Structure 1
Amino acid sequence: MKRFLICRHAKSSWDKPFLADHKRPLAPRGLRNAKDMAQKLVAKKIFPDMIISSDAERAKHTAEIFADILGIGKNHFKLTSELYHASPTEILKYIRKTPNTVDTLFIFGHNPGLTDLVVELGEDLENLPTTGVFGFTFNVEDWGDVGKKNAKFWMHDYPKNPEAQN
């Protein structure tokens, strides 16, 4: 069984409107939401084997907060430019390259690619909000086999969610 969670980066700051998009930091609310959402996963006993994040500052910082709270060490944390504004096809292609020693993968990235990936895998989602988490399970042993035909809803949560689904 393979499981993956996707998380849209936390709320970013627009205090410096001329700062390059790739370098935008998290806003204070984003910092709080990232900590709160990571603690929700701890409470649900959801701990990934590996975290992979877009290398954009806001996604990277969100992933680092989650990694710290979830106890994920540097050997199980990777940054990549391939997830920066990636399409659903590109994200899935990247996920399929995951080593099979990993059973639970956590991906941090950006919209619209993340929301579109959830929809492509068969779930109805209008928008994955900032710091929103969506998870799927796949009854397969090889990451290369994950796709719509074997995707099953696992969980969905976000900062302002009164009733998390899992």
Structure 2
Amino acid sequence: MTLRLILTRHAKSDWDNPLDSDHSRPLSARGVDSAPRIGRWLSGKGYLPGQALVSDATRTRQTWDLIAAELPDAPVPEVDRYLYLAGPDVLLGRLRRATAPCVMLVAHNPGTGEFAAAVLQSPVAHDAFNRYPTCATLVAEFDLPDWSSLDYKTGRAADFIVPRDLD
């Protein structure tokens, strides 16, 4: 069976309010613009998640909501506090409990970018891949019977995009 992961770093956050904690920082105007464009791109390509795993930070929840608004039949997100600033091993562990054939995970750097590089058999040939900028989105595919078999170096990149590519 082919499983698909849509791995997205949250959109650009707003740093203007010094009273916002890191966890509660909202999206900036640029982030609010970028996330729906990624959603339209996903929808147009037929990359439609059946399950969404989302960090409980404000900016990741907002990113998901803006992307989901562009997807037909978007799933209700599973908001998970353990995904907040999670490293690759936590992301791997959470994905091993996923149930849908296509899962979207919205989280943070550096863990998201590190996980993207670690889970693929070979890196993506895109100049932004190693930086994994805000709202960067990897679509990876895995020939596995289920998510419990997921491991590092088992995926292949089907697609990769950053909002700037959509300008």
The TM-score, its normalising length taken from structure 1, stands at 0.90
Q: Which residue of 1 is the match for residue 141 of structure 2?
A: 137
CA contact (8 A) 2:51 2:103 kept: yes
RMSD between aligned residues: 1.6
The residue aligned with 1:43 is: 44
**Native 8 Å contact 1:54 1:109 kept in 2:** yes
State whether residues 43 and 72 of structure 2, in contact with CA within 8 Å, keep that contact through their aligned partners in structure 1: no
Q: How does 1:13-24 map to 2 (within 5 A)?
A: 13-24=14-25
**Conservation of the 8 A alpha-carbon contact between 2:139 and 2:160:** yes
Stretches of structure 1 that go unaligned for 5 or more consecutive residues are: none
Asked whether 1:62 is paired with 2:63, we answer yes
Check whether the contact 1:50–1:72 (CA below 8 A) recurs between aligned residues. Answer: no
The one-letter code of the counterpart of 1:67 is A
List per-residue Cα deviations over 1:16-37 (Å, max 9, x = no partner): 0231110000111100000111
SS of equivalent residue, structure 1 residue 71: coil
Residue aligning to 1:79: 79
Q: Indicate how the Cα distance of structure 1 residues 72 and 162 shifts in structure 2: closer, same or farther if over 3 A, else same.
A: closer
Q: Deviations over 1:40-75 (max 9, x none)?
A: 11111211111110000000000111112113455x
Give the distance between the partners of 1:154 and 1:115, measured in 2 at CA.
16
Q: Could you tell me which runs of 5 or more consecutive residues in structure 2 were left unpaired when the two chains were aligned.
A: 124-128
Select which of 146, 151, 161 maps to 1:147.
Answer: 151
What letter is aligned with 1:18?
A: L
Distance 2:154 2:53 in 1: 22
The change in CA–CA distance for 1:14 and 1:149 in structure 2 (over 3 A counts) is closer
Q: Distance in 2 between matches of 1:47 and 1:73?
A: 8
Runs of 4+ in 1 over 4 A off after TM superposition: none
CA distance in 2 between counterparts of 1:160 and 1:15 reads 22
Paired with 1:24 and 1:162, the residues of 2 have a C-alpha distance of: 25
| Number of aligned residue pairs | 160
